[in-house]
Amino acid sequence: MTCGERNRRKIQEEETLNNDWAAMNGVKKCPSCQVWLEKTEGCNHMECRCGAHICWKCMGVFPANEIYRHLGEVHGGAFDGDGQRQNEDLQFAARLQRQYELRQDQPFAVPRLGQMGMPAQPQAVAEQERAARAERARRLVEARERNEREVRLAAARERMARERALEEQERAAIVRREQDGGWCIVM
């Protein structure tokens, strides 16, 4: 095996491990730029750092002004849930879509909204923000712990692969010695 073949095999094995990890942890690649994306909460509209607006359900890429319409028409709403929740989600997504269309010229003028698109009370908004920060902190700790586990697992896999390679080399050396009859040729 040449060094190039070994490197290609190693890259393929790493890609397989990455894909297995992604499938187990609900992580997907952006269809536009192939960056890994993780959905931790919220609706099924994802916006990648490359600017693509992605449907998390089907991984389709849509213009910003079409994504909520797609989620409502094709998937029954922007959020996962039962029929009643999806119906509410469809209505909410339609309101978001209308707001987006009305405020295209003023991207930073979107008002804070409470449940189902009604203006929220400042105290309720502050409480929601505190709860959201606490939830983000909890998820961050979980993500760090998950990452540390994955790093340890990857290190263990790498160590085992190195040990297997050494064992194979030792076996090959033993076989060569046995085939040579154990004699040393001196000239």
> Hey, what amino acid is at 134?
A
Does residue 62 sit within a domain? yes
State which of 91, 114, 137 marks the end of a domain: 114
Residues 73 and 165 placed together within one structural domain of the fold = no
pLDDT confidence of residue 48: 92
pLDDT at 145 over 60: yes
Phi first, then psi: give them for residue 113, nearest 5 degrees: -120, 145
Cα dihedral 18→20→22→26 (10° resolution): 180
pLDDT at 153 over 80: yes
User: What does the alpha-carbon distance between residue 41 and residue 80 come to, in Å, rounded to a whole number?
Assistant: 11
The model carries a pTM of 0.41
Q: Average pLDDT in the 122-135 region?
A: 76
Residues 136 and 62 placed together within one structural domain of the fold = no
pLDDT confidence of residue 110: 47
Do the Cβ atoms of 54 and 46 come closer than 8 Å?
A: yes
Residues 97 and 149 placed together within one structural domain of the fold = no
How many domains would you assign to the chain?
2
Cβ contacts of residue 116 below 8 Å, gap of 6+? Answer: 88, 91, 92, 95
Does residue 182 sit within a domain? no
Q: Which domain holds residue 136?
A: 121-177
Residues 11 and 84 placed together within one structural domain of the fold = yes
pLDDT at 73 over 70: yes
Q: Which residue has the tokens 């990452």?
A: 147
pLDDT confidence of residue 33: 94
Does residue 160 sit within a domain? yes
Residues 77 and 130 placed together within one structural domain of the fold = no
Does residue 183 sit within a domain? no
